[in-house]
Amino acid sequence: MPPSAFGISPRGRGGRGEWRDTLASMRLLTGALLLLACLAAACGSGDEAVRDTATATSERAERPATITQQQQTQPRQTTVQDTTAQEVDQPAEPQSEPQADQLPADDVGVHKGLRSERHVLGEPDAPVEIRYFGDFT
């Protein structure tokens, strides 16, 4: 076949074909690189999201444990910080009612071997004694 039969020499046609192949390969390579970059970016942000979630979860998990430890180590010493933490994370415990032996008494002593309390209202020297017997005294 003569070289001028198609106006393109076999070598020249072959050179253009190689160029086109090279260009197509570069496009494919560029596309693949862009795709990889997008995937890498997506995976990177996903890792951060997972890490944030894990951090938040562990913080929430550690906080009640810390409060519990404080209560165990200091069961009767309630600080302002402890109270604040309990108000946030736990329902407040009902305040204990005053015990009977904590009631105000003007004179507390022993009468006939028994504990005696004399509550004086008004005139201390008033010659009146009221003795009360009830179910719960």
| 94 interacts with other proteins by CB under 8 A | yes
Structure tokens at 84: 């604040």
Binds other proteins (CB under 8 A): choice among 91, 95, 98, 131? 131
Q: How far apart are CA 137 and CA 132, in angstroms?
A: 8
> What is residue 60's DSSP assignment?
H
Asked whether position 133 contacts other proteins by CB under 8 A, the answer is yes
Nearest CB to other proteins, comparing residues 98 and 132: 132
From 10-18, 41-49, 79-87, 128-136, span contacting other proteins (CB under 8 A): 128-136
* Piece of 7-15, 28-36, 58-66, 129-137 that binds other proteins (CB under 8 A): 129-137
Strand pairing class (114-118; 107-111)? antiparallel
Q: CA dihedral in degrees (12, 17, 23, 26; nearest 10)?
A: -120
List residues bridging with 108 in a β-sheet. 117
Stretch that binds other proteins, among 7-15, 26-34, 39-47, 120-128 (CB under 8 A): 120-128
Give the binding site for other proteins (CB under 8 A): 94, 112-115, 126-135, 137
